[in-house]
Amino acid sequence: IRIPNDLDSFWMPFTPSRAFQEAPRMLHKADGVRYVTVDGAEKFDGTGGLWCCNAGHNHPRIVEAIQRQAADLDFAHTFGQGHPIAFEAAARVVDLAPGMDHVFFTNSGSEAVDTALKIALAYHAARGDGGRRMLVGREKAYHGINFGGLSVGGIGLNKGQFGTLYPSVAHLRHTWLEENHFSRGMPEHGAHLADDLQRLCDLHGGHTIAAVIVEPVSGAGGVFPPPKGYLERLREICDAHGILLIFDEVITGFGRMGTAFAYEAFGVQPDLVTCAKGMTNATVPMGGVLATAAVRDAFRQAPSKMPDLFHGYTYSGHPLASAACIATLEVYRDEDIFGNAARMATPWEDMVHGLADIDGVIDVRNCGIIAAIQLAQQGAVGDAGRAAHAKLWEAGLIVRPIGDALAMSPPLTITQAHVDEIGATLRSVLAA
């Protein structure tokens, strides 16, 4: 495998060029929980691609379904025409999602988020309540990098360069209480932090807020499970003010919490759910927005002559993505992938918390099959995370550094032997 001389044509700002050019981390093949580099070295995929390869890499049933579909019907759009497989994929996704009756297909998580925000604004307009224009997100939240998602997102570094995006936005405070450090799973303290939404309602008027969007477990901001009772409290405040509640399940969807969606595991019903990643096991790009019948019906019952929503992508319900989605959901079902995630959640939790005694580990957070190990800062923010990430790569384990936290979200197919292997690698590298 030849690495091209010119690595500069591909504008990829997150791949720091000098270090990368000196020692390119280039992956060539994948199978199950492992990648193989161009030099033939194996790397355990502790990040499941990027929180997305839930059934492991290169699953033969999914590969075969994509190949078959490409040979039969490579593409057809879904504007005033269709193809059965897109409708089949939609029906199967909706079947997995309790209380959800419809799915709007997109091509990515970022598009799903912008779609959900547009649905929320248009929903209120369809009900004659178009004055609701404010969108509420949360500090430290990641909702993709498109205009809407960036507006409601809470990671300053992503937003700083672009100035004001959607103008009518407010953010809930993100607070990780000291007493929640080293909590196993959802922390005990902090349900009251959801009252920050009531503060925003008092400040701006609850009747001006269209929607609140949160990740049930925040991922890319550093892995923060919700305090027990927090999401319930958000739901109550939304109900009291007629605000739509959107869960961004781009990471948590498709089994990471041991159920198809996190909202099921947490027992809180949102109005809209965004998903992507695990929808096709990260093969052909696909995302979607799940909606309740009540949301969709508001459009159907609107007095105007408008079609129900002026929105849609060339590739909404793309045949290859639809085929990949159907095959993926069959693999999840037939191999009981969500059940395995549920069963492995405790061994996973035991492993990550078993590292708490290592010098320099200042917090461990986990929920389902996701975790972060927070390292003490050394020098500038991110130095410790970057150094540990590099050493772990050399030792054969891929993690995702987020500042000085090491985030992990391995495929949901992990076994006890895999968990032991990850634990041993982490211990040897972090202890050193």
Binding site for ligand PMP (CB under 6 A): 108-110, 113, 142-144, 215, 219-220, 248, 250-251, 276
- Collapsing DSSP to helix, strand or coil, 409 comes out as coil
Q: Vertex 307, ends 304 and 313: CA angle to 5°?
A: 145
Whole-angstrom distance, CA of residue 409 vs CA of residue 51 = 5
Q: Is 17 helix (H, G, I), strand (E, B) or coil?
A: helix
Smallest distance, ligand PMP to C-beta of residue 21, A: 25
Q: Which is nearer to ligand PMP, 113 or 197 (CB)?
A: 113
Closest CB to ligand PMP among 109 and 385?
109
Q: Which is nearer to ligand PMP, 83 or 140 (CB)?
A: 140
Q: How far is the CB of 382 from ligand PMP (least distance, A)?
A: 18
Antiparallel, parallel or unpaired: β 42-45 and 397-398? parallel
With respect to ligand PMP, which residue has the nearer C-beta, 11 or 22? 11
Could you tell me the smallest distance in angstroms from the CB atom of residue 220 to ligand PMP?
A: 5
Instruction: Name the residue nearer to ligand PMP (CB basis): 248 or 271.
Output: 248
Q: Which is nearer to ligand PMP, 197 or 250 (CB)?
A: 250
Q: Which is nearer to ligand PMP, 112 or 373 (CB)?
A: 112
The residue whose Cβ lies closest to ligand PMP is 109
Q: Cβ 359 to ligand PMP, closest distance in Å?
A: 31
Name the minimum Å distance from CB 276 to ligand PMP: 5
Strands 27-31, 400-402: pairing is unpaired
At 415, the amino acid letter reads T
Q: What is the smallest separation between the CB atom of 289 and ligand PMP, expressed in angstroms?
A: 12
3-state helix, strand, coil split of the chain in percent (to 5) is 40, 15, 40
**Which residue number, 250 or 272, has a Cβ lying nearer to ligand PMP?**
250
In sequence order, what are the residues at sequence separation of 6 or more whose Cβ sits closer than 8 angstroms to the Cβ of residue 75? 315, 318, 319, 320
Tell which residue, 287, 307, 335, has the closest CA to residue 90. Answer: 287
Nearest distance, CB of residue 153 and ligand PMP, angstroms:
8
Would you say 62 and 283 are in contact if contact means Cβ atoms under 8 Å apart? Answer: yes
310-319 as b/e: b if 16+ CB within 10 A: eebbebbbbb
Tokens of 53: 């390869």
Nearer to ligand PMP, 143 or 296 (CB): 143
The per-residue DSSP string of 122-146 comes to: HHHHHTT-TT--EEEEETT----SS
Question: Distance between CA 413 and CA 55 in Å, rounded?
Answer: 6
Smallest separation, CB 251 to ligand PMP (Å): 5
Question: Cα(101)–Cα(361) distance, rounded to whole angstroms?
Answer: 44
CB of 56 to ligand PMP, least distance (A): 19
Region for 23 from its dihedrals, namely left if φ exceeds 0, alpha if ψ lies in -120 to 50, beta otherwise: beta
> With respect to ligand PMP, which residue has the nearer C-beta, 85 or 113?
113
Write down the least CB distance from residue 174 to ligand PMP, Å: 14
Rounded distance between C-alpha atoms, residue 404 and residue 222, angstroms: 9
